[in-house]
Structure 1
């Protein structure tokens, strides 16, 4: 199963940290965010990765050339990174999306155990959902009915039960790949600034997307400079504690 990491964006909300550095290379716990992701993917045998790059792509390309071994990496350049959305970046990687695939944002810090959830429902498309991390209006909320996603978006009030907050990690199972590609083409043709949440919403409208709950495993989407502080001081230590606890359990 191929994983697409969407790392083309400028990361304007993280300024000034992103003036000379792409957000995927912001360092947390002695590793850049992208390094944490690639290490986690290798741990869970998601070893073929498509990296969509744009803003300061040379720095990202140099980092991956020196980074995690054991991965098959493909680089895709989004030349329109400054005025296009994350769905356009995903669409540029479509030549690699002929089988089941995962896509994720590049501004995430997460416990690698979260990725096990992608294999829990092998024949169902799903998005990873955790407890709400705040109430700033930036949280992407997910509503569901009996596990099937009914709505996804920010500042959302919708029918169904609130499942929690979308992490920005989605798996498209093999049966949904043709539909996902068709929907992507329609959405990008209508608006090249569309974000990948619009694809998730479209799949939900076709009743083809499910919730995969991550439980209490720690994660954080890094949008603002204060999120970097929170990641370094709170979330990364929490992840380390969770991994240590798992390693110490018998069996």
Structure 2
């Protein structure tokens, strides 16, 4: 696999938001510190990254930043983590938060995570191992509406449009909030975000708006079809209940060899049925 011998990408986790739609669960807790299936959401994400060989982390924080820092420092002693603070988290959005990570990321390849996404490690392994430079994880099996970030792609899964305003009828599926950005594209993405954020009118833009601008300029973005694998985004109390139903056990850090053995055991069990 691609990253068995090469340096894996950096993890950039956006965790600055308030999570007001999850009230009262978030009245006294950061959203990413809620527990799903016996593990804290952020812990699941970081352990999944460690399972895929990723060891460098950038966390963009805002709301309850100190609480999140204390949790990570206590739970993951010795990992390489840099904290970036979005002091404007109340009046900005994910585009501004991602822009703030630019000075730490530099020219490194990275995978960007929304901190409220809970996902199966197999999704991340597929993304890390993809030979393509800029990749969005897409689920086709989603009822698309105004809220979802929708993607249009051709037969080779090259993206031509991305955003909430994309016509659901022509969309391939939903972008789940996990993307790989190449070392070449990263500086171009950050420059696009910086230009956008110079105008107060763009303060509330999502980072996908910058992806869309790069796509319009001809930069290649591709979709990785993760349909059928487990994931969920947690925005509401109903989402939180659904996540606990879907992910029923605590997360473990699992090596590639261990994952391969578990997959083989599952396949053998299916054949015996």
Normalised by the size of structure 1, how large is the TM-score?
0.90
Of 137, 143, 148 in structure 1, the residue corresponding to residue 158 of structure 2 is: 148
Q: Give the C-alpha shift of residue 117 in structure 1.
A: 2.2
Indicate the residue corresponding to 1:216 in structure 2: 228
Indicate the residue corresponding to 2:115 in structure 1: 106
Structure 2: any 5+ residue segments left out of the alignment? Answer: 1-8, 252-258, 269-273
Indicate the residue corresponding to 1:203 in structure 2: 214
Q: Give the C-alpha shift of residue 245 in structure 1.
A: 6.0
Q: Distance in 2 between matches of 1:231 and 1:133?
A: 15
Q: Structure 1 pair 215/70, CA: closer, same or farther in 2 (3 Å)?
A: farther
Q: Structure 1 pair 87/174, CA: closer, same or farther in 2 (3 Å)?
A: same
Structure 1: any 5+ residue segments left out of the alignment? Answer: none
Report if aligned partners of 1:39, 1:68 keep a CA contact under 8 Å in 2.
no
CA deviation profile, 1:53-99 (whole Å, cap 9, x unmatched): 11011210111011135621111111111111111111111112222
Q: Distance in 2 between matches of 1:142 and 1:226?
A: 25
Q: Distance in 2 between matches of 1:117 and 1:203?
A: 23
CA deviation profile, 1:114-170 (whole Å, cap 9, x unmatched): 1112233335211111134334532211111231111112252179x5321101011
Indicate the residue corresponding to 2:5 in structure 1: none
Of 177, 189, 193 in structure 1, the residue corresponding to residue 186 of structure 2 is: 177
Does residue 147 of structure 2 align to residue 138 of structure 1? yes
Q: Distance in 2 between matches of 1:186 and 1:232?
A: 40
Q: Give the C-alpha shift of residue 203 in structure 1.
A: 2.3
Q: Give the C-alpha shift of residue 238 in structure 1.
A: 9.5
Task: Provide the secondary structure at the position in 1 that maps to 2:186.
Answer: helix
Q: Distance in 1 between matches of 2:177 and 2:144?
A: 17
Report if aligned partners of 1:47, 1:70 keep a CA contact under 8 Å in 2.
no
Task: Provide the secondary structure at the position in 1 that maps to 2:14.
Answer: strand
Indicate the residue corresponding to 1:83 in structure 2: 91
Does residue 225 of structure 2 align to residue 225 of structure 1? no
Q: Distance in 2 between matches of 1:147 and 1:157?
A: 17
Report if aligned partners of 1:99, 1:174 keep a CA contact under 8 Å in 2.
yes
Q: Distance in 2 between matches of 1:215 and 1:10?
A: 29
Q: Give the C-alpha shift of residue 25 in structure 1.
A: 0.6
- The size of the alignment, in residue pairs, is 247
Q: Structure 1 pair 118/24, CA: closer, same or farther in 2 (3 Å)?
A: same
Q: Structure 1 pair 238/165, CA: closer, same or farther in 2 (3 Å)?
A: farther
Pair member with larger Rg? 2
Q: Distance in 1 between matches of 2:78 and 2:178?
A: 22
Q: Distance in 1 between matches of 2:161 and 2:250?
A: 29
Q: Give the C-alpha shift of residue 215 in structure 1.
A: 3.3
Report if aligned partners of 2:144, 2:150 keep a CA contact under 8 Å in 1.
no
Q: Distance in 1 between matches of 2:250 and 2:149?
A: 22
What value does the CA root-mean-square deviation take over the aligned residues?
2.4
